[in-house]
């Protein structure tokens, strides 16, 4: 197994930086693209662990920074779901150009919803895993702002979240998203993972997402687990489940 630092262009011309984890054997049996959350990046503990274990199972894995964070160019203030879906399109096309094999997607938090929205439009996606993914991303502004602050966001064109500027394009983008409608269009197998003590995205949203999926699907609720899977024992159990399930979808080896 070895790592390769790579970069490619987004649809808007930004530079996206990622890391490919190559299996020891030259021909991998499949591939997985990992999508981080809003306040994370490609170097999260979960994504690094998954990249190593999947590569050990013979699966080519890509973890990358969306165009507003980490080593990729772009500004956090320009973040939108649609923009991240476009970034994922660039990543998916890059992977297919390098090695056209069955490719699955895994996304955590916002990255999970982004992966879902992309899978709804790309029928060649082999499988999808969401971890703590928002089913109601349009509710995000109401969770962090008062009605008065929301109106100010619209009027002045920006607001601040955890000290960082967010442009009104995000608010407008959220109002156009319908996760359930997208979920109904997905044809690949889907694994939905969520903690029942998630303090950011209520666990009920995982049940709603699962109900909207019409194909092969599995719902895994983690007892006593928060949004970031902070408990190392439970996180290990969850990621083992993910690797085993992805191995069944795009690999030929089991744990």
Strand extents, DSSP E, the chain: 2-9, 15-22, 30-35, 59-64, 103-108, 128-131, 158-161, 164-167, 190-195, 217-222
Is residue 155 situated within a structural domain?
A: no
Is residue 218 situated within a structural domain?
A: yes
Number of domains in the chain: 1
Is residue 255 situated within a structural domain?
A: no
pLDDT score, position 252: 58
Q: Mind listing the pLDDT tens digit for each residue in 159-179?
A: 999 899 999 999 999 999 999
Q: Give backbone dihedrals phi and psi of 70, rounded to 5 degrees, phi first.
A: 60, -135
State the CATH number of the domain containing residue 78. Answer: 3.40.50.1820
If you ran DSSP here, which 8-state letter would residue 111 be given?
H
Q: Whole-angstrom Cα distance, residue 213 to residue 167?
A: 32
Q: Is the pLDDT of residue 253 over 80?
A: no
Is residue 168 situated within a structural domain?
A: no
Cα first-last separation, the chain: 17
Domain range for 235: 2-136+179-248
Q: Whole-angstrom Cα distance, residue 34 to residue 127?
A: 12
pLDDT score, position 25: 77
pLDDT score, position 26: 63
Is residue 141 situated within a structural domain?
A: no
- Give the residue among 10, 19, 20, 6 at the shortest CA–CA distance from 73: 10
Show Cβ contacts of residue 137 under 8 Å, excluding neighbours closer than 6 positions.
Answer: 81, 110, 113, 174, 177, 179
Q: Mind listing the pLDDT tens digit for each residue in 94-110?
A: 999 998 999 999 999 99
Is residue 161 situated within a structural domain?
A: no
pTM value is 0.96
Is residue 143 situated within a structural domain?
A: no
Q: Compute the half-sphere exposure of residue 163: CA atoms within 13 Å on the CB side of its CA.
A: 1
Q: Give backbone dihedrals phi and psi of 116, rounded to 5 degrees, phi first.
A: -65, -45
Show Cβ contacts of residue 177 under 8 Å, excluding neighbours closer than 6 positions.
Answer: 81, 117, 137, 138
Is residue 169 situated within a structural domain?
A: no
């Amino acid at each position: 197994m070895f790592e390769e630092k790579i970069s490619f262009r987004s649809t808007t011309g930004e530079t996206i930086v990622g890391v490919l984890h190559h299996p020891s054997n030259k021909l991998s049996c499949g591939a997985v693209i990992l999508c981080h959350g809003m306040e994370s990046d490609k170097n999260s503990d979960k994504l690094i662990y998954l990249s190593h274990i999947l590569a050990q199972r013979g699966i080519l894995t890509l973890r990358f920074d969306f165009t507003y964070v980490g080593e990729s160019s772009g500004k956090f203030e320009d973040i939108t779901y649609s923009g991240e879906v476009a970034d994922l399109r660039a990543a998916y096309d890059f992977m297919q150009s390098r090695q056209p094999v069955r490719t699955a997607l895994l996304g955590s938090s916002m990255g999970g919803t982004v992966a879902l929205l992309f899978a709804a439009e790309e029928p060649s996606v082999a499988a999808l895993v969401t971890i703590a993914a928002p089913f109601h991303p349009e509710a995000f502004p109401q969770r962090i702002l008062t009605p008065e602050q929301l109106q100010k966001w619209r009027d002045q064109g920006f607001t601040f979240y955890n000290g960082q500027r967010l442009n009104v394009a995000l608010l407008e983008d959220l109002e156009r998203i319908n996760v359930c409608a997208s979920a109904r269009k997905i044809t690949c197998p889907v694994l939905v993972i969520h903690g029942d003590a998630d303090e950011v995205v209520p666990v009920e949203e995982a049940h709603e997402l699962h109900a909207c999926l019409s194909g092969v699907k599995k719902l895994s609720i983690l007892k006593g687990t928060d949004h970031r899977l902070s408990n190392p024992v439970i996180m290990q159990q969850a990621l083992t489940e993910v690797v085993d399930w992805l191995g069944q979808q795009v690999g030929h080896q089991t744990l």
